Chain A
């Protein structure tokens, strides 16, 4: 491995580690339980989002069906813990079952392309949810309960989640810098051309699907262990799959840090705005989704406008011009809409 040659290269190498260490040391400052809970949720959702991003962002295969892996991770962890195994063994088991399921789903559906694949994944989630609702060994629609014979320790859950998200970032970074990652990006850009150059799209997609499913399964297991109680209408819900998809889309599809940023924003929105205006939480997600698609299709992490605006906001906090800066940011974001013109058709016949 070569050392970075300039300052920004060093920053890119060092900052993630600094962040990781800071998150590990955070409990020293004895933050409130709620802060720990929020960071836990952020880490869990970011892990799942990073998993989705491997398939949806790098390989370009949009799946609405990641709730299946999240739910399978939850249930496997719960069943293994119920059988007397350690929760960490449960997480590994959840990842393994999710990976196995990903092959069952991927073998037929990766024969499909583009919209057909997307539609098939919707079908798969709904079918799995109906089956889980009727399956007797997991308690059917009434859900499943995890009982641990020890006091509830939020910090343990927190550390597990932080390690999981670090693992997900590491896996993403390794894949992005590997030959395999290159093959995936080639498939995203042009599957036929990639196949001509010696990439096997089918097996590549299957493997990245399995890795993504494994990460999502781990996230599901960690979530379920803290939640203690879950049911198919929750972990297998279409909405869960949507949440997992929203996170990378908000943050930045195909980037490594995008899903992490997306997770942070998602939890902030979820906990502040939608908790306050519960009657409008779907509206908020919908509007956020539409705004991002229309204004910042690359996700927020690539938005120079947003970062500049954030800088100005920070300055504003000290100089007392926050509202002015916020207004300027909104104005800039909305100005883009006016310049958007219906575009000519691009691409091949």
Chain B
């Protein structure tokens, strides 16, 4: 492989990282504020994909616009879920078994409802964008749909950053992440903030699901691999930081993309170089997850923080 091909892969990895970041950020805010590992995130991703699919099929709405429409709809849906289920959970500083199981149960319910409504078949959203690509030189070609999805994801991340740093809601959210007791003492309404945060997390899940639906085909079990990727990303990012998510997404996307093209030496009747068989590629995120968790439990951000503090 020559340099241009590597550059091509690198560009694709970066574009993928944008969607990954949008996918994981919802989970991060929910974890930060409520200390709930939201397993139902996978269900929301899947619903997001079907939401934009339905809009596209019935009303011929552009899937990107569909993803944007998904934001407010899923925001309300998330608030409803919080009001119905999540607020009954006992509060704690660390995720409890109860919260894990509750969200897992809800994921099962969502998955089953999707099976009942849309069946087991793989669906995909097919637009004129899907098959066209931007060509730079001979080897670099970027599918247009990836570009559009990346732009939408980055735009929403920027909007989230503004909400996070420039609004009362964002400020109370950050306060609750930093110190729940301190925040309550100075008058942050934790229930209300938690409800809005859950709505926000769900909105981003639906949005990211709609974007992922443009890139991949989906079935009601769609969310599972992406749930685990979200875990990897937020763990890499240190679980609670939004900027860490972007970093984690880039690391994961690059590793996944390059895992099958980087040769590694292996002893089998003499030293030779081998490539990782593509069928093993799904293992990468999970191995990365365990390795990262064990080596640096605070994530990449934690590693940097420590370095900065000692320096």
Could you tell me which A residues sit within 8 Å of B by CB distance?
A: 56, 62, 108-109, 111-116, 118-120, 122-124, 126-127, 130-131, 133-134, 238, 242, 249, 253, 279-283, 285-290, 292-294, 297, 337, 340, 342-349
Contact of B290 among A56, A109, A293 (CB under 8 A): A109
A-B contact pairs, 15 of them (CB 8 A): A62-B97, A114-B95, A116-B235, A122-B231, A123-B231, A130-B283, A130-B286, A282-B115, A286-B107, A287-B105, A293-B102, A343-B90, A345-B93, A346-B92, A347-B92
Which chain A positions have C-beta within 8 A of B87? Answer: 342
Q: Is the CB of A342 within 8 A of B88?
A: yes
Does B116 touch A at the CB level, under 8 Å? Answer: yes
Contact of A133 with B279 at beta-carbon distance under 8 Å, contacts A123-B289, A346-B91 already known: yes
Contact between chains at A293 and B235 (CB < 8 Å): no
| B contact residues, range | 35 or more
User: Do A287 and B109 contact each other (CB < 8 Å), given the known contacts A123-B290, A342-B88?
Assistant: yes
| Main SS class of interface, A | helix
The 8 A CB mask of B63-94 against A (1 = contact, 0 = none) is 00000000000000000000001011111111
- Chain A residues with CB under 8 A of B106: 286, 290
User: Within the complex, which residue of A108, A285, A342, A347 is in contact with B105, where a contact is CB–CB below 8 Å?
Assistant: A285
Contact in complex: B228, A282 (CB < 8 Å): no
The answer to whether A130 and B112 have CB atoms under 8 Å apart is: no
Given contacts A116-B293, A120-B290, A279-B115, contact A293 B101 (CB under 8 A): yes
CB distance from A210 to the nearest CB of B (A): 19
Q: How far is the CB of A217 from chain B (nearest CB, A)?
A: 21
A126 to B221, CA, bound (A): 14
The answer on a CB contact under 8 Å between A349 and B231 is no
- CA separation between A279 and B113, bound complex, in Å? 9
A56-B97 Cα distance, complex, nearest whole Å: 9
| Closest Cβ–Cβ distance, residue A71 to chain B (whole Å) | 16
With a cutoff of 8 Å between Cβ atoms, the chain A residues found around residue B287 in the complex are: 123, 127
Chain A residue with the shortest CB-CB distance to B92: A347
A148 to B208, CA, bound (A): 51
Residues of A within 8 A of B191 (CB): 342
CB distance from A264 to the nearest CB of B (A): 20
Interface centre among B37, B190, B191, B224 (most CB of A within 10 A): B37
Whether A134 contacts B108 in the complex (CB less than 8 A), given A109-B290, A346-B92, comes out as no
Partner among B102, B107, B224 whose Cβ is within 8 Å of the Cβ of A294? B102
Interface pair A289/B94, CB less than 8 Å apart = no
User: Is B294 interfacial (CB 8 A cutoff)?
Assistant: yes
Is there contact, CB below 8 Å, between A253 and B104?
A: no
B277 located at the interface, meaning its Cβ lies under 8 Å from any Cβ of chain A in the complex: yes
Asked if A119 meets B109 with Cβ closer than 8 Å, knowing A131-B283, A293-B102, A346-B92, the reply is no
The 8 Å CB contact of A130, one of B105, B181, B282, is B282
Query: Does the CB pair A290–B105 fall under 8 Å?
Result: yes
In-complex Cβ contact of A115 among B37, B280, B283 (8 A):
B37
A132, chain B: closest CB distance, angstroms? 11
What A residues does B37 contact at CB under 8 A? 115, 118-119
Given contacts A108-B294, A279-B115, A342-B191, 15 further A-B contacts (CB under 8 A): A109-B293, A113-B94, A116-B297, A118-B37, A130-B280, A130-B286, A134-B280, A279-B112, A286-B105, A286-B107, A286-B108, A286-B112, A290-B102, A290-B109, A294-B88
Are A119 and B112 neighbours in the complex by a CB distance under 8 Å?
no
Q: How far is the CA of A131 from the CA of B90 in the complex (A)?
A: 38
Cα-based distance from A320 to B13 in the complex (angstroms): 68
Please determine whether A114 and B94 come into contact, CB atoms closer than 8 angstroms: yes
Complex CA distance for A62 and B37, rounded to whole angstroms: 13
Distance in angstroms from B204 CB to nearest chain A CB is: 19
Residue B143 is within 8 A (CB to CB) of chain A in the complex: no
Q: Is the CB of A127 within 8 A of B115?
A: no
| Chain B 172-196 interface residues, beta-carbon cutoff 8 Å to A | 179-181, 184, 190-191
Residues of A within 8 A of B97 (CB): 56, 62, 249, 253
